[in-house]
Amino acid sequence: MTSPHKTHHVDYAVVGSGIAGLRAAIELSAAGSVLVLAKSNLSDSATAWAQGGIAVALSDEDEIGLHEQDTLNAGDGLCRPEAVALLVEEGPKYITQLIEWGTEFDRAGTRLAFTREAAHSRSRILHAHGDSTGREISRALLARAHSIPQLHLRAHAFTTELIVERGRVDGLYFIDETDETLHELRASAVLLATGGLGQIYRETTNPEVATGDGMAIAYEAGAVLSDIEFMQFHPTALAIQGAPRFLLSEALRGEGGVLRNIGLERFMKKYHEAQELAPRDVVARAIVSEMQRTQSTHVYLDMTKKSQEFLKKRFPRIYETCLSYGLDLASDLAPVCPAAHYMMGGVKTDLKGHTSLPGLYAAGETAATGVHGANRLASNSLLEGLVFGALAGQAMMKDAPAGKRKGQALPGSPAPLPGNGPGVQKEAMKNGGAKNGALKSPAAACATLTKIRELMWHNVGIMRNGKELAEGIKQLEGIELPKCEKSGRSGHELRNLHTLALVMARAARAREESRGSHYRSDFPFRNDEDFAKHSAVQKGKDVRFEV
């Protein structure tokens, strides 16, 4: 490796600036200096893209126990009950705190407005500005973070690997994309909160930054990954040629939207009694089945029974985005297809964010807490990031060596730390900004990435079988990654996606059953006797299953 341009020291390092990373960083700032690294803009995260809302049992008609049961039901027998209990019990406290910090959730008069989504037994979904919930939460958390002197934020800093010494994670290396210099960061603890890995698939609702970096570097360092075979595919992404797969929220179907095939027939009643409000995996497979049966590339989402006024107010961002592609949801049918959306698995953690490596923690979509089981309940992901981000921060402070619990800077700590304050993003962009991400890399890398994404979509996608999984693994193993003289962000992202593609394909082949989002046509039934267990994968070892 090239010698680092500079070495920095900090009490706590957080990789990722979404809801989990920022909430953990705010918690940690009470005990020492914190540096948050974001590989793109500070606000460029899956959190900021989240439309659906955040689920919490706060209304008078709801109960924590009902939220708990709905989550367990959605997880298809694979949730860790203690993790689910913690999520729903702690949720109200942390949501109330978000409101105190200035998060503006939608209200009906002075009361919070709750909506219902598929598989929820009560109306418990909070929204902000209709369909911009994640963006509003991100705004409030960033504002809070910027107000804390001990908390420093650095944009366009891509983490390439963890530093492991004597079996403990002691820091990390990152590339400053404004000048392509390599930096070393030493910390008493590192939290990975880099989000998901949706870019591993040809069709995805995820932002370009979702390349699984935290999971991949944890795996390379020797950490255990768990339940990585469970990728949730969102049933309804906008399917217009040349347009990104913009997510058309489940809330649209919650408000009465219906699905029609290209013959304009409403088809969901053939697949599930709950029709359009069936669990996501059921709806996604039903759409795929209809597409195959009618030899089409999409089905339609029909919102035409709703007025333009209603749609503009309830779904402003979705309505305007569709309009920009020539679709008026009030009068036009929207072409949709499933797309990779959310990773239920990730870096295996306990309830406090500890991974299998001392000094390393994980939270949010990067982590596998067992909260989501085999299938995430809609709108639980933001809540998980919020609650488990805070809990991981608390654990990191508690575990820190005694001398580092009182906020003392480590010897050699620069003052101020690199990346303090909101001006960082502007400065980084002025100096040329981030180098292009995974989708805009050099020709050879781009061709390899396209091959990986196509392979994953066809061989490790919504409908799986042993023969195609084995063929996918063989082809992935045969891929040679392009060699670059100087590997920048895009080269690392490609390597990370290739690593995780193989891990996911191997875990999917090992799970010889159908459960939640993992569907095997050659093993179409759930097998609790052999597989009511969590997969565990470590570098250099075979996939194993454990309770």
Active site residues: 280
Distance CA 35, CA 355 (A): 20
Strands (E), 293-437: 299-302, 334-343, 346-348, 360-362, 367-368
Q: What are phi and psi of 231, to 5 degrees?
A: -105, 125
DSSP symbols for 203-270? SB-S-TT-S-HHHHHHHHTTPPEESTT-EEEEEEEE--TTS---B--HHHHHTT-EEE-TT--B-GGG
Residue matched to tokens 């008609």: 61
Contact 213, 200 (CB under 8 A): no
Contact 476, 455 (CB under 8 A): yes
Q: Which residues pair with residue 536 across a beta bridge? A: 226, 544
The amino acid occupying position 196 is: G
Q: Residues 122, 127, 132, 134: is their CA dihedral positive or negative?
A: negative
Question: How many residues comprise the chain?
Answer: 547
Q: Output the CA–CA distances (angstroms, integers) from residue 540 to 3, 188, 224, 502, 547, in the order listed.
A: 28, 27, 11, 12, 21
Distance CA 243, CA 68 (A): 37
Helix (H, G, I), strand (E, B) or coil at 460: coil
Residue 353 makes CB contacts below 8 A (sequence gap 6+) with 24, 191, 361, 362, 363, 367, 388, 391, 392, 395, 396
Pairing verdict, β 534-537 and 225-226: antiparallel
Residue 182 makes CB contacts below 8 A (sequence gap 6+) with 1, 2, 3, 4, 5, 160, 173, 174, 175, 176
Which H or E run includes 482?
A: none
Burial label for 412, CB within 10 Å (0-12, 13-18, 19+), is exposed
Q: Residues 196, 276, 318, 262: is their CA dihedral positive or negative?
A: positive
Distance CA 331, CA 539 (A): 52
For 433: left if phi > 0, alpha if psi spans -120 to 50, otherwise beta; the answer is: left
For the record, the structure tokens of 12 come out as 């706590």
Helix (H, G, I), strand (E, B) or coil at 419: coil
DSSP 268: G
Residue 305 makes CB contacts below 8 A (sequence gap 6+) with 256
Helix (H, G, I), strand (E, B) or coil at 3: coil
The amino acid occupying position 483 is: K
Closest-CA residue to 126 (of 52, 70, 69): 52
